[in-house]
Amino acid sequence: MEKGMCKAALTALERAMEVERQGEAFYLEVAERVQDSSGKAVFQTLAKDEVEHLRLLQAEFEAISKEKDWLDLDQAKVCEPQTPVRLFPDRRAAALAVPAGMKDVEALKLAMDFEEKGYDAYVKAGAETQDPKGKKVFHFLAKQESAHYLFLQKTREYLTTKGTWYFDDQEFPMFDGA
């Protein structure tokens, strides 16, 4: 990979890893504040998905740093990074984004906004990435964010119309590592 493209890929991956770190911290914070046990489970699962996305991105980052080339998506999904995955170091920033006394429906709206921003970031990164393997990675992550958004939207609609949390083991969690 050309030096300029390599630097651009590493920068895009660093930004993406930070998005995932923030997402993990955000979802853990929301899970602590949500009252319903099913709601807690939804946000804990989303936090785990963010860690899996981070692991994938870190594997790509390490590969490009050392070998100067992207991993195949399937390889990156199962590759364990050589350095420990660094999670978001300070959850206080996430706490500031989650208002005290927030209602469960409001938590879902915040989460939907977060997933939409992640989706937009991955679509942009994919468009700016020249390497087909890199495009595939960012497309995969954008698709994951979109699936999370749709699940959260469906859950919010269900909660506002029926008054209970929606959690379908067949549809969620979306990230299965495959």
Per-residue burial over 114-150, b = 16 or more CB atoms within 10 Å of its CB, e = otherwise: bbeebbebbbebbeebebebbbbbbbbbbebbbbbbe
Query: What is the separation, in whole angstroms, between the first and last Cα of the chain?
Result: 27
**Per-residue pLDDT at 171 exceeds 70:** no
Burial of residue 82 (number of CB atoms within 10 Å: 0-12, 13-18, 19+)? exposed
Q: What is the mean pLDDT of residues 30-43?
A: 87
* Whole-number CA gyration radius for the chain: 17
Residue 143: per-residue pLDDT: 96
Q: What is the mean pLDDT of residues 81-99?
A: 59
Structure pTM? 0.81
Provide the mean pLDDT of the chain.
82
Report residue 99 as tokens: 């208002």
Residue 48: per-residue pLDDT: 94
pLDDT band at 60 (very low <50, low <70, confident <90, very high): very high
Q: How far apart are CA 156 and CA 162, in angstroms?
A: 10
Report the interhelical angle of 104-128 vs 3-33 (nearest 10°): 170
Decide if 125 contacts 12 (C-beta within 8 A).
yes
Q: What is the mean pLDDT of residues 49-60?
A: 93
Q: Name the class of domain 3-162.
A: mainly alpha
Higher pLDDT, 83 or 12: 12
Residue 166: per-residue pLDDT: 57
